[in-house]
Structure 1
């Protein structure tokens, strides 16, 4: 399930980049289509992430359990930041605050997911 989760969020980042590029080129209709596909990918990200979180629920060890919950919340924060970036961009507003939130949440998720929690790399 870990590989499916990583694949789904990598796909999400690729779709985010494609939507941003299309929006900057002034192609609103294709950007909206890619945005809708990205929203479907959010569901897959949430499903696979929830399944990984359920593995921590089955074996509750307090420090790891708390970090898994924080990682899950930060993952939802990333999804919200991606939505804010695309929606603000489509409305012509500044996306600086959304990008800052995205980077902070991404760093938090990567550190917890790959280096702290047992289902990661280390």
Structure 2
């Protein structure tokens, strides 16, 4: 009986989470990382160095809160994509990774928790 009550409570709590809405929750991040021009366009948008497309803007608007809250409002697909993005940027263009991290976590208080959460996906 306790198990059923716990499941009901968890279901209600999970139902109350409002996930981020993005233009594409199934975007091929591996292809993005492999395409230097497209990757740079994403990074330039995120770093305010260039205009954003509708797609990149849909991701960018959520990044500040997602970093601070360890992607609490990210759905599983978004968490997986964010993990792939960060790992790919770190590997392919580490300087850009450090700039991204500095922009969205200048005091270095949140990123480790974010990456720990994303590592589950």
TM-score by length of 1: 0.26
Q: Report the TM-score, using the length of structure 2 for normalisation.
A: 0.27
